[in-house]
Structure formats: structure tokens, C-alpha cells
Structure 1
């Protein structure tokens, strides 16, 4: 990128003033090609990350037989998903560790580290001997590698959301940021497609004997591709502006101060991530095993149905991101939550019918509402926080909620169905989740679509947009009153 192509922004003085002042040179002019490059490179890296993370869930039934052969039936599946869920326990620690580094050192550097860690850990899973070879040590090694995966993922997704949100113009943030979730879907599709293809070509016996290792072993070359792309990115304009404004003195905010000053945003973020992750992991991670272990579908058939659904979801996610720029991400999210409340039970009735067409229709109903969140969350969640704490605060919020509610969803569903024998338990779970999410989104969520990120001046695509922004500095710097309240809290003596 040449000097002429770099986003033009001088550092804003991030302090209160009696009257908002906005200069022409404060406004970022985003180079469209650079923004698209950032989206593509980050999304591709994210696809690599979620390919690595997703193949475990798609191989859950096989992994249970390899690493927990002493168990049988639903107990084996529960233990397999427990190993899946336990990686989420360390995600908040990874998020806080990498998030603080990302707020101090920059977004780009940390994203290369997290991707490398994930690729190495995934490769190691493919090299672990089976339980039949080394006994319980195999299960312990699997647990260790899952913990490394969880630690790296703690800094990955929140960092990717932060990077894209800070690299795109305000009026297109929703659409461009939805490309990150396209990367997630592509990663899941690649993982699901590879597992499905191997299952078809090798058959159950060879898949159990050695075929399950192949998806994990391809993690190394895939990780190298993602690493190359991320190394060729520029740092985000918002982070560079903050560094310039603070003369490079920003050292990050202690956890105690972060929790005190940004408590409301953190709580809103936890609830947003709560319902988002429950639906996400219900549809993309749990449903393949639900179709196989609960409904008696063939493993390959169940994966194939999910694979087709995810392909169809890609344009829907992009459409939801585009639509959020026009009507607001808050309204799109409210629509998705209301849809889940109404259609979750019908969807699971269709899925439980046993007829391929009805099963597919039920899965698509859930997928459409999930797409409402996938198309909006990558732009909404980073906008909850100010630039100086965005990576760290988002990492804590996202990973704490994902650990408590997202990664445990497959385990909880398998346990509840085993205890109650009721195949509609997932539908009731989704309805309850949607009710909580709709109340919080309606009452406390502030619309941020088309507006500057908290702590930053507006980011535009063309110079002709600048005069209109300068006419209304109060609206352009809409976050200043909130910042003033946070600063006042920080100035008060603490007990």
C-alpha cells in the first residue's frame, strides 16, 4: 500500500470537550481495495481456524470410538462432547491474554500467533495414538491439544471481528464484516465436506482405523496459507489513530478498571454472544450428531444435509449484513430472535419426521435465523467498545459467554435428551434463549449501523461524504457523552 493509498486520519484527542470539534483530517478515508483485502485475508484466516476447530465436532461419533471405547452409546457421545466443551474453559484466559496484547501491540501481530497455535494443535490431534494403543494417555493427550486449541481460539475470533470492523467504512461495515462469517461457514463446509467425502470413500471401518486422522493432518499446510495472508495485512486505521493520539503510550487497561468502566457494554455483549453461540453451535456443531445418534440417520447422510445447508447460508449471511447497513443491525437481530421463538418447535418437528425433505426444511428454518446473527454480530459486537479496549473487552465478553453457553450446548443437549428422552428439548432451549436475547436487545442495545465506532471519528469511502459529516459533529462523535461518563467514573476514588 502506498502512502497515497493509506487511510487518512490524524489522531483524535480522546478527552472530553465542552463542545465537539471535528476536523476534516480527523475523518478516515478508507481505501476500498485495502478494505476488501483486509476482509478477504481475515476471513480466509478465520476459515482456516474454524476448519481446524470444526472437524472435531463432525468426527464426534468416530472420535468417541477411538478415544473412549470403554464407553458405549450416549455416554460415549457425552464424553466426546465433554472434551469438545472443555476447550471452551480456557477460551476466556486466551481471550484476555491475546486481547490485552492486541490492544497494546496491534491487531495484526496477535492474529498471526493465534492462527499458528491452532494449526499446530490440530496437527497434533491427528498424530495422537488411539486408546487401543496407549490407553488412557490417549484421552489425556487429546484433552491437552483441545486446551491449546481453545486458548488460541480465545484470541482469534474477537481479534478478527475487531480487525475487520476497524478496517471498513461505517456505512458498509455490516456487509463487509459479514464476510468474516462467510469465512467461518467456508471453514465448516471444508471440514464437513472432507469428513463426508472420507466417510463415503473409506467406509466406517477404515475411517475408524485411520481415516479420521486425515482432516487433522491437513491443518499444517492450511495454516501456512492463512499465515501468509495475514502477514501481508496493514494494521487497522483505528488502532493507528489511537496510537498517534496517545503517542504510543497506551499500555492497556487493568481488568478491574475495565470491568468497572465498561460494565454495561460487557454485560450486553455477554447476552448477545450467549444467544448467538447457542444457535450457532446448535445448528452447525450439534445437529450432525443429533441426526446420527438421536434420530438414527446415517453419519454420512447427516453431514451431507448440514453441508448443503451451510452452502445455502453463505448468500443469506451476506444479504443480512447488507440489509443491516440499510435498516440497522438491531432490527435484523430482533427479527431473527422473534423467528426462533415462533419457528423452533415446527423446525424440530420437521427434523424429527425422518423424511429427507422435511428434515432439510427444518434445518433451513433454523439456518435462516442463525444467518440473521452471523450477518450482523461481526459488526455489532466490536462497536460495543472503545478503540483502546476493544480487542481485550470483546475477547473477554465473547469467550466468557461462548465458554459458558456456546461450547457447552452440544454437551447439554446430549445430556438433556438422554435424561428426558424428549427429542424436542433443543427447540425449547432455543425458545428460552431467544426470549432472553430479544428482551436485552430491545431494551439496552444501541443502534450502531452506519455510525462511527466508539472512540473513533467517522470512516468514509469517498471524500464527498466529509462535508455532510462536518455539519453535524455531535452525531459524528455520538459516543462522546458515553466516554465522558466513563472518564468521570475513572476519576472517582475507589474504595
Structure 2
């Protein structure tokens, strides 16, 4: 619970930006065209992802050399600083070009922290459970991410109802960042008092896990990147991008966009927890992951077709919830399949790096790419083709990867 709380707080701080991208775009990247403003805002969202591999390499290596707990404590401190910077940053109208520079700086700090946090926290949970309880333990990491998405979407939904549009655009979007900043010291305190995991680092500052990883596990790293590509793109398009997509592209009310993100986050959380239990009861990770990937790939095109062609909020929310439920059900088994490819002495570095690279190359750029595709084609449905292509990459990876069960 202590690990999940800290992880959820960091993911909330990092991803809440995407829920309010349209308002951040207006405040820091003003243009005459709302699509161009949104492009700049989601482009800055992607900047945070490009810092993630660096954070994954450095903090993941630190976790393998010194310990998981110390790396997680450092990451939550860095995340709090980046979130505070975004929360308090003056707008473009107040300080000019310095405003977007500060926002980019805050996103870089957030990305660096998230890169080390997710891989290290997931590794910590996996190593804290027995072979037959790994799914349950890792499931809490996904639950924490889902709950953080629920809280972020709920903040947007409540604020969009409680505030006038002008007030939401002027200062309301800052409220979730302020909440994340104020809660961070609690997470930091809890992390400082966690025990180290049984396999948590060799406590040898002279080891070079990066060199060991590159020498012996290059192919496994490529397979791990492929496994998570489709899932990360689905998450960032179908959950985090939905408020901006539905309001700016499909022209539905802001409340519908936040309600869709909220419903999707709830579905993901519930089915991730269920999926963790099921993963512990399956003899093979691939036996669970393979059919789930096939269903996800088949579902994304009709799902986005429905979303772009109906004005009924219930239909939009239900459709997106089905897609994210499929995602949540398979995500824990996928993470276990990835982590079990690597031995304990390089596991935090390997998993952090591959997960961060997949999120950077595909997840962090997803919102920008689909927005650019829509701007070029004039067709909101064109976003579906990118999601489907990334799902096919993951499906190919799971068909090719060789399953292992390392301690």
C-alpha cells in the first residue's frame, strides 16, 4: 500500500497535465487556431516523456546498485518539484516566452522522476511477493495508476461543473497540480520508512548494470518494448487524451470528455486488479496476454468509429470503458512477462528503461501524432489507425517472445 500510494501520487502529478492540455495550451501557447494551441500543449506533454528514459537509466541503475527504496524516495522528491513549478508558473500573458520555458522545465523534471519511479516501484512490488503472488502484488501498481487517473478525471469533471469556463481556463486547471504538490511530502515520508525488497540492489556503487544489460539482454529489451507499445498508446489516447479529443476535435461538452476519462479510469482500475488475480492462477503469462491483445487490436477501430459518430455521452463513455477494461485485464500479466525476462541484478534498470522507452517513443508522442493526423486529414477517426498499428506491434511481440520465470 505504501508503494502504491507513492506511485499513484507520482502518476497523478505526471498525467493530470494531459487532462487539462487544452487549458494549458491557451495559457502558455496562445494562437489564433485552437488546434495549433492544442498541438503545442500536447507536444510539451511529450517533452516529459523524452526525459523518462534518462530517469529510467539513472534511477533504475541506482536502484540496482544501491536499493529500490532509495531510488523511489528520490523520484517522488523530483516529481514534487516539477509539479510545483507547473502549478505556480505565470502565464504567457504575464511573463511572455519565459512561461512556456518554465512549463517545459517542469515537464522535464516530472518525466525524469516518472522514468525511474514506475520501473523501480513495479520491480519492488514483484520482488516483495512469492512466485504465486506476483500478479496480486504488481496489480497494486496498476491499481494505483488507475486510481490516480480516476482522481485526475474527477478533478476535471468537478471543476468543469463548479467553475465557469473562463475561471477554469484562468486558474481552475491549476488546482490538481496544487493538490499533488501539497500531498507529495506525505508520500516522501512513507517512502523513507519502507523496508528494502529481498532482492533490492547489490549495494555496490561500483557495479555497472547498464553494461551488463547491454551485453546480455539486448534482444529481451527489444521484446519488452514491443510488448508494452500497444498498451501505452491505448492508455494515452483512450484515457488521457479523451477530454481534449472530445472537446476540441469531436466538439462535445467538456463534462462528457472528463466523464469518459473517469469511466475509462475506473474500468482500467477494476480490471487491472482482477487481471492480477487471474495472472497468478495461469500457468503461462502468454496464455492470458495473447487473447487479450487480439481482442484489443480488434476493438480499437470500431470503438473510435462509435466515438466519432455519436453525440450520446453514455455511448461514448461505455465504448471507451470496454476498450480500457480489455487493457486493464491484460496489463499485469504483460508487466510480469516483461520483468521475468531479466535477472534481479539488472531487473530495475532493464524494466525501467524498456518501459520508459516504449512510453517515450509511442505513448509520449501519441497525442501529438494523432492530433497532427487529424489536422492534416480533417478526419477525427484517423486517430484509430495509429492505435491499431501500435496494437499490432505488441501482438507481434507477444507471439515471438520466449516466456521465462526468473526469481
Shorter-chain TM-score category?
over 0.9
More helix by share: 2
Shift of 1:189: 1.2
d(CA) in 1 for partners of 2:249 and 2:71?
40
Shift of 1:305: 2.2
2:397 pairs, out of 427, 440, 446, with 440
d(CA) in 1 for partners of 2:80 and 2:153?
17
* 2:343 counterpart of 1:382: no
Task: Report if aligned partners of 1:341, 1:435 keep a CA contact under 8 Å in 2.
Answer: yes
TM-score, length-scaled by structure 1:
0.79
Which residue does 2:9 correspond to in 1? 48
Which residue does 1:220 correspond to in 2? 181
* 2:118 counterpart of 1:163: no
d(CA) in 2 for partners of 1:275 and 1:53?
20
Which residue does 1:73 correspond to in 2? 34
Which residue does 1:172 correspond to in 2? 133
Which residue does 1:426 correspond to in 2? 383
d(CA) in 1 for partners of 2:404 and 2:258?
37
Shift of 1:309: 2.7
Partner secondary structure for residue 132 of structure 2: helix
- Aligned pairs for 1:323-342 within 5 A: 323-327=278-282, 328-342=284-298
Which residue does 2:213 correspond to in 1? 258
d(CA) in 1 for partners of 2:404 and 2:311?
42
Shift of 1:207: 1.3
Shift of 1:422: 2.2
* 2:357 counterpart of 1:410: no
Which residue does 2:229 correspond to in 1? 274
d(CA) in 1 for partners of 2:110 and 2:57?
15
Shift of 1:342: 1.8
d(CA) in 1 for partners of 2:317 and 2:162?
24
1:296 pairs, out of 251, 256, 265, with 251
Which residue does 1:460 correspond to in 2? none
Q: Give unpaired runs (5+ residues) of structure 2.
A: none
Aligned residues: 405
List per-residue Cα deviations over 1:381-430 (Å, max 9, x = no partner): 32221111111122221112211111111111100111112222222222
Shift of 1:71: 4.2
Shift of 1:84: 0.3
1:367 pairs, out of 315, 318, 324, with 324
User: In structure 2, do the counterparts of structure 1 residues 287 and 121 end up closer, same or farther at CA, with 3 Å as the change threshold?
Assistant: same
Which residue does 1:34 correspond to in 2? none
- Aligned pairs for 1:138-157 within 5 A: 138-157=99-118
* 2:303 counterpart of 1:347: yes
Question: Which protein has the larger Cα radius of gyration, Structure 1 or Structure 2?
Answer: 1
d(CA) in 2 for partners of 1:68 and 1:435?
34
d(CA) in 1 for partners of 2:104 and 2:372?
20
List per-residue Cα deviations over 1:64-119 (Å, max 9, x = no partner): 11001134221111000000001111111111111111111100011011011101
* 2:238 counterpart of 1:283: yes
Partner secondary structure for residue 164 of structure 2: helix
* 2:269 counterpart of 1:314: yes
List per-residue Cα deviations over 1:265-313 (Å, max 9, x = no partner): 1111111122221111112211221111111011122102221232233
Task: Report if aligned partners of 1:346, 1:362 keep a CA contact under 8 Å in 2.
Answer: no
Shift of 1:329: 2.5
Partner secondary structure for residue 236 of structure 1: coil
d(CA) in 2 for partners of 1:249 and 1:312?
42
Partner secondary structure for residue 340 of structure 2: helix
